[in-house]
Amino acid sequence: MVKIAKSFLSQVTAEGLNGPFVTIMLNTHVGHQNVEKDQIKFKNFAKEAKRRFEKKYPDHDWAPFQKKIDEILADQSFWRSSTTSAAVILTPEEVLIHRLSIRVDDQYYVGETPYLLAIIKNAQFNDPFYLLALNRDSMKVYQVENKVVSEVELPEEAPTTIEKALGEEITGGGDFNYSAQGGANTGGEGVAYHGFSAKDEELEIDHVNYYQAVDTFFRNDFPNDDNLPLYLFALPENQTLFKKNAKTSYFQATPNLATSPAPMSVKEVQGCVDKLVEELTQHQVSAYEKLLDRKFIDQLVDIIPAAKEGRIGQLFIATSNLADGFGEDPDTEYDRRQVLNTLAKDVVDNGGEVSILEQEDAPGQKSLTAILRY
């Protein structure tokens, strides 16, 4: 789970944050007409939440909530955000807003705990990382956070090109005029050597020296206080050579993007990164399956007390549990969702992890599974 989401969950589950809570989950849009529709939907949810709040908490005052709701409705910066959705959590004293990158069920909740399930779902498989886009003679670095790609601005001394990295030490004279083979999208990266010459050998020496300089930069000079993983975006032959020379502790050889990154716009890189994120997700899902070798329980009646006692290390909730609608009795307000939400909060409060997966990705394809600590 990403650091920001962990921090937010800690904030909303802190003992000092007192309810009752009103949570509004809302998909958000851009464009004047769509923004107006979002505002109307938010206002309608607030009206319904007030009705439910006054019925559920007759001794509490709704006025502090309404004041915060009116302020949000008037805040144009909130409505102009380009994120996919937002979770708005209100207490009599606080307003907590968490931006999400996933679609949510437009809905509202009133209860003793904030609604956390969508925030948890957004956070999973969403850990930030760096991506090294590496060519034979140049490199760029991208950061992926909340699944969005942005190029990292590197310091002037960074080895972004072979000329900067090696300077006068380039044995091949700084000239990479080799014969390129491959399709139009190879970026000049497919190299064909016709026979062997001293020039070829010099180019290979430069190639190795350059990758060693890149690795040294990441080991000694690249700021990575959070120790985020670094994945590789390069042609297979370049990946092979870099891996032989890489000594950077946070460099991860797999998974990777085995294609040329040159030349690409950030938008094009985003498309490639989406595939990498999917591969990372499937790798993690496969690892979850192995957890069933440990002691687990899969009945709600057993899981609820285990969560309160702090005996659950990992809780898996399948999305099949999260049916749309208010059920047979609207006043129960997503009764099963509320039970699962409280369950998730108990696990998080006791230092456990919660994952919300599609049914086919859940361990053993079970709808509910708790891996026990003891």
Q: Give 10-residue mean pLDDT values along the chain (374 residues).
A: 58 72 91 85 95 94 97 92 89 91 87 89 87 96 90 95 86 47 43 50 87 96 95 96 96 95 90 92 90 94 96 94 60 70 91 91 93 91
Nearest-angstrom CA–CA distance, 343 and 82? 31
pLDDT value at residue 106 = 87
Nearest-angstrom CA–CA distance, 52 and 18? 18
pLDDT value at residue 199 = 62
Q: Phi and psi of 306, rounded to 5°?
A: -65, -35
Superfamily of domain 294-374: Ribosomal protein L30/S12 (3.30.1330.30)
Q: Which of 300, 310, 183 is nearest to 235 (CA)?
A: 183
Q: Which of 89, 81, 78, 86 is nearest to 22 (CA)?
A: 89
240, 17 contact by CB (below 8 A): no
Q: Under 8 Å CB-to-CB from 358, ≥6 apart: which residues?
A: 318, 319
pLDDT value at residue 330 = 54
The domain 129-287: what is its CATH number?
3.30.420
Buried-state track 67-93, b at ≥16 Cβ within 10 A, e below 16: ebbeebeeeeebbeeebbbbbbbbbbe
Nearest-angstrom CA–CA distance, 214 and 54? 62
Element containing residue 347 per DSSP (H, E): helix 335-349
pLDDT value at residue 329 = 57
Nearest-angstrom CA–CA distance, 345 and 265? 41
Q: Where are the domains of the chain?
A: 1-123, 129-287, 294-374
**pLDDT tens for residues 265-303?**
999 999 999 999 999 999 889 999 999 999 999 999 999
Nearest-angstrom CA–CA distance, 313 and 296? 10
pLDDT value at residue 174 = 44
Q: 30 is written with which tokens?
A: 């851009």
Point out which residues pair with 191 in neighbouring strands.
180
Nearest-angstrom CA–CA distance, 45 and 80? 19
pLDDT value at residue 312 = 97
Q: 247 is written with which tokens?
A: 């000594």
